A and B are shown apart, each in its own frame.
Chain A
Amino acid sequence: MATVTATKRRWDDVRLSATVFLGNKTAVAGLVIFLLFIGDAVIVQIAPGLLGVDNPDSVIPPQFTQTNPECVGAPPEAPSWSHPFGTTQYGLSGIGCLDLLQLTMKAIRIDVAISFFVVLTGAAIGTLFGVVSAYLGRWFDELLMRVTDVFFSIPFLILALAVGYVVGRTLFNMALALIIVWWPLYARYARSLTLSTKESTFIEAARAAGSGRIKIMVFHIFPNVLPPILVQISLDVGTIITILATLAFIGFLNVLVPELGVLANIGLGLAPLGYWWTVIVPGLVITAFALAVNLMGDGLRDVIDPRRRS
């Protein structure tokens, strides 16, 4: 009996959250675009054939020049029915006929995966450090804050470049560099949330109840710190994807992978010659994703804000 009501209450809770979120039209639009991206990423991962994508990990399929010798030196083609996003060409008078729609679909998978990986890992590290440091206080807190100060005093793109210089220029290292740049943000945020939660009387009540430090941290502070962090994560997925593309665009990677920034970089040399779509298409895709995620994040913020719910 008791569990039945409990399940029902929980279900009501979810329904209320959904109502609040769905009431926000722009957030729903954001969600739809976001789901399109996620869907693309998942299908390319599991069954690339469904979307007509082959060799999801490479820009130029192996033996491409042997099977399509006419494509060597072919100029980019404008968007048409056979190539809705047009085609691009790798290197000036290099390999042409590269379908941008296919490349974009491959790139979305990589970009979405990396940005989720970066944000989730960064948020996990940052939140852990932030909560522990705010709760322990003293020299540990002081140390962490000074470390984050160092990170904040260097523009993050430059810092990512510097880290990339040290760890090397592969795709995984790019993600690593971004994590290193990004975790202090979460550490600061989690710390400030913890400090305000720590002042609540229920923490004192828990101490009066005999609960130990670890128990208070895990069961009282974490549940109150987590929801705003989750919203921040959802917002940051969009931000990270732009930074990711920016890094790839300025040539962070020394390998050729289908990535939106790399695609834009390839197009950069072509655009002045009149092949504008080679830059605009990857750029618009990045913008669309970042925008969708932001709109969705705003909707989520309404959901967790108790004032908007009641």
Chain B
Amino acid sequence: MTSYGYLVSGLLGGAVVIEEIFTFKGIGWWTTEAFLRGDRGVVMGSTLAFGLILVFTSLLLDLLYAFLDPRIRYE
């Protein structure tokens, strides 16, 4: 299950490439396009957004751990 954390990270990064190839206008495409345009606000904002998504996913995974494995308890 730990590997899912890395998987999510990889998928989010992959979104950038996939959206570029298929011109699917999601956050990845938006980030790339802003990068090429030199739009500082969008680059910073989307980096933060990606970070937040990843952090919350990890948090969710950790909580799921505690739920699935009774030996783990948070003090």
Contact = CB atoms under 8 A, between A and B. Distances in A.
Interface string B29-66: 00110011010100110110011001100100000000
Interface residues of A, number: 18
B10 interface: yes
B46 A249 contact: no
B46 A158 contact: yes
A214 interface: no
Contacts of A74: none
Interface residues of B, number: 24
B36 A156 contact: no
Contacts of B58: 153
A155 interface: yes
Given A153-B51, A155-B50, A250-B32, A161 B17 contact: no
Contacts of B46: 158
Nearest to A271: B21
Nearest to A279: B21
Q: Please classify the interface of chain B as helix (H, G, I), strand (E, B), loop, or mixed, using the class held by over half of its residues.
A: helix
B13 A158 contact: yes
Given A154-B50, A155-B50, A156-B9, A162 B43 contact: yes
A161 B29 CA distance: 12
Given A154-B50, A158-B47, A164 B13 contact: no
Nearest to B36: A251
A157 interface: yes
Given A158-B46, A268-B21, A153 B55 contact: yes
Contacts of A154: 47, 50-51, 54
B40 A153 contact: no
A157 B55 contact: no
A155 B54 contact: yes
Contact of B32 (A159, A161, A268): A161
Contacts of A162: 43-44, 47
A157 B16 contact: yes
A157 B17 contact: yes
A159 B31 CA distance: 11
Top 4 A-B pairs, shortest CB-CB distance: A157-B13, A155-B13, A155-B12, A162-B47
20 contacts: A153-B51, A153-B55, A153-B58, A154-B51, A155-B10, A155-B12, A157-B14, A158-B13, A158-B16, A158-B46, A158-B47, A159-B47, A161-B16, A161-B35, A161-B43, A165-B43, A249-B20, A250-B17, A250-B20, A250-B32
Interface of A: 152-159, 161-162, 164-165, 246, 249-252, 268
Given A154-B51, A155-B54, 18 more contacts: A153-B55, A154-B54, A155-B10, A155-B12, A156-B9, A156-B13, A157-B16, A158-B50, A159-B47, A161-B16, A161-B35, A162-B44, A164-B35, A165-B43, A249-B17, A249-B20, A251-B35, A251-B36
